[in-house]
């Protein structure tokens, strides 16, 4: 979890400077081992891309697309909203968004944790291959689309076509589900799995009394070419 503590943070003002310059400033402070606060973020795209585990960054304001993309261990905290693809392809690390997140949160991420305090847009966790996405609000339509592994945990419900065409992985929803996506099914989670999810949430200060979990997994009918699945295929 990224800290909002401002003490000792080196300030980098984003503004309308070239993103190449802003990111070079960020990388050089990371190399110097300094925690960073980026101010006047102006929803700029591609801030804090491909950073290592030693990075600790607070973005004061909103950020654009691909913030924390290809993250390799950095702790990133955004105090307002973020655009598409936050934390896309993250290998490891921790990203917290205090506000809302746009489309494709954590697209194809392989590890680490993304925590969105507001709602997340469509295709949250699309093609993800590991790690955890926690959304305190609702997740948009087609969330978890063709995900391979990992967990998406939505506390405020899921929109239509939830967990569409999952290969693997899990979509946990506490709250209403608009509709299930193709080839997904709701199963009863084991108590140990519930405990693991609740523990993760508690670490984020999200411990709550007895949530009514719906765990969505792949129905595995689209894993293989079979003519008997023609109807399911035609739906895609």
Partner 1 sequence: MADDLKTPWEYPFESATEELIGFADGAIDGRPAGIPSSYDRGGSIRWTPESISEIHALSQLGRYQIRGFNTFNKSFPTLDDLVFVPATMTRLPLEGYRESCDTRTVLGDRPGLVEQPLELDIPIYIASMSFGALSAPAKAALGYGASKVGSMTCTGEGGMLEDERRASRTLVYQMTPSRYMLDLEHLRKANAIELVVGQGAKPGTGGLLLGMKVSDRVADMRSLPTGVDQRSTVRHPDFLGADDMQIKIEELREATDYQVPIFLKMGATRPRWDVAIAAKAGVDVIVVDGAEGGTGASPELLMDHTGIPTMSAIPAAREALEDCGKADEVKLVAAGGIRSGADAAKCLALGADAVMVGLGSMIALGCNSPRYLESYQTLGTSPGRCHHCHTGLCPVGVATQDPELESRVDVAAASERVARYLTAMTMEISLLAKSCGKSSVHNLEKEDLRALSTEASAFTGVKMAGIDKPFTW
Distance (Å, whole) CA 120 – CA 82: 10
Binding mask 157-196 for partner 1 (x = CB under 8 A): ----------xx----------------------------
Three-class SS of residue 13? strand
For residues 136-173, one letter each, b for 16 or more C-beta atoms within 10 angstroms of the residue's C-beta and e for the rest, the string is bbbbbbbbbbbbeebbbbbbbbbbebbbbbbeebbbbb
Facing residues of 56 across strands? 75
Segment contacting partner 1 (CB under 8 A): 35-43, 84-92, 191-199, 209-217? Answer: 84-92
Distance from chain centroid for Cα 130: 11
Question: Among 59, 84, 141, 172, which residue sits at the site for partner 1 (rule: CB under 8 A)?
Answer: 84
CB of 218 to partner 1, least distance (A): 9
Site string for partner 1, 32-61 (x = CB under 8 A): -------------xx--xx-----------
Q: Where does this chain touch partner 1 (CB under 8 A) — which range of 9-17, 120-128, 176-184, 192-200?
A: 120-128
Minimum separation from the CB atom of position 147 to partner 1 (A): 9
The C-alpha angle with vertex 183 and arms to 180 and 189, in degrees rounded to 5, equals 70
Q: Does 232 bind partner 1 (CB under 8 A)?
A: no
Burial code of 85-109, b = ≥16 C-beta within 10 A, e = fewer?
bbbbbbbbbbbbbbbbbbbbbbbbb
The residue to which tokens 């990371």 are assigned: 30
Nearer to partner 1, 204 or 221 (CB): 221
Under rule CB under 8 A, how many of the chain's residues touch partner 1? 42
Decide if residue 107 touches partner 1 (CB under 8 A): yes
Distances (CA, A) of 190 to 194, 215, 228: 6, 10, 31
Cβ closer to partner 1: 59 or 65? 65
Task: Give residue for tokens 């009514």.
Answer: 212
C-alpha–C-alpha distance, residues 194 and 210, integer Å = 10
Residue ranges that bind partner 1, judged by CB under 8 A: 19-20, 23, 45-46, 49-50, 64-66, 69-70, 72, 84-85, 88-89, 91, 103-104, 107-108, 110, 123, 126-127, 129-130, 145-146, 148-149, 167-168, 222-225, 227-228, 230, 233
């Amino acid at each position: 979890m990224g800290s909002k503590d401002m003490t000792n943070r080196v300030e980098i003002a984003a503004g309308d400077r070239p993103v190449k310059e802003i990111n070079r400033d960020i990388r050089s402070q990371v190399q110097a081992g300094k925690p960073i606060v980026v101010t006047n973020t102006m929803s700029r795209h591609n801030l804090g891309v491909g950073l290592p585990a030693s990075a600790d960054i607070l973005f004061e304001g909103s950020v654009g697309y691909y913030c924390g993309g290809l993250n390799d261990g950095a702790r990133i905290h955004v105090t307002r909203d973020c655009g598409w693809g936050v934390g896309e392809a993250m290998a490891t690390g921790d990203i917290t968004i205090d506000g809302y997140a746009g489309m494709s949160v954590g697209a194809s991420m392989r590890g680490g944790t993304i925590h969105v305090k507001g709602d997340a847009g469509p295709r949250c966790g699309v093609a993800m291959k590991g790690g955890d996405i926690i959304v305190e609000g609702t997740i948009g339509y087609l969330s978890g689309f063709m995900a391979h592994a990992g967990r998406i945990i939505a506390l405020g419900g899921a929109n239509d076509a939830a967990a569409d065409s999952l290969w693997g992985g899990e979509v946990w929803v506490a709250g209403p589900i608009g509709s299930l996506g193709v080839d997904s099914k709701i199963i009863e989670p084991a108590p140990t799995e519930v405990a693991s999810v609740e523990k993760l949430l508690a670490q984020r200060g999200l411990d709550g009394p007895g949530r009514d979990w719906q765990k969505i997994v792949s129905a595995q009918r689209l894993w293989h070419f079979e003519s008997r699945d023609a109807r399911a295929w035609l739906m895609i």
